[in-house]
Every structure is written in C-alpha cells, then in structure tokens.
Amino acid sequence: MTERELDVFRLIASNCLTDDIATELHLSPRTVNRHRENIKAKIKVRNVGEMVSYWYQNNLK
C-alpha cells in the first residue's frame, strides 16, 4: 500500500467522510474514492466496514 493510501485508510478508520479526507489531504473527492477502491482491492474486502475491521485487526496506525 502506498503512503497516501495509508493516509486515506487511517482517516477512513477514524470515521472521516470523503469530503473531509479530501480537504485534509488536499485531494479531490474523486481521488479519495479511487484510493479507497484501490485499498479495498489490495486487502480483498468488499466494503468500508470490512476495511475498518481490517485496520483494527491488523493494528495499523
């Protein structure tokens, strides 16, 4: 996973919304969505709930 994907992942796991993530990381919402989809593919999950579970189960920080 790229450093930027980890930044997006961390904010998703912190319950931030797409627009808030985009603002914080100076990205477009579309780019945030693309990172989210790439993360889901890389960790082989289907939705954001599974992403958040993965984040905490694997002690990512």
pLDDT in tens, 8-44: 999 999 999 999 999 999 999 999 999 999 999 999 9
The token duo for 23 is 């603002």
Does residue 19 contact residue 29 with C-beta atoms inside 8 Å?
yes
Res. 3 pLDDT band, cuts 50 70 90: very high
Domain boundaries, the chain: 3-57
For 16, the 3-state DSSP assignment is coil
CATH number for the region 3-57 comes to 1.10.10.10
CB 54 within 8 A of CB 12: no
E strand or H helix at 13? helix 3-13
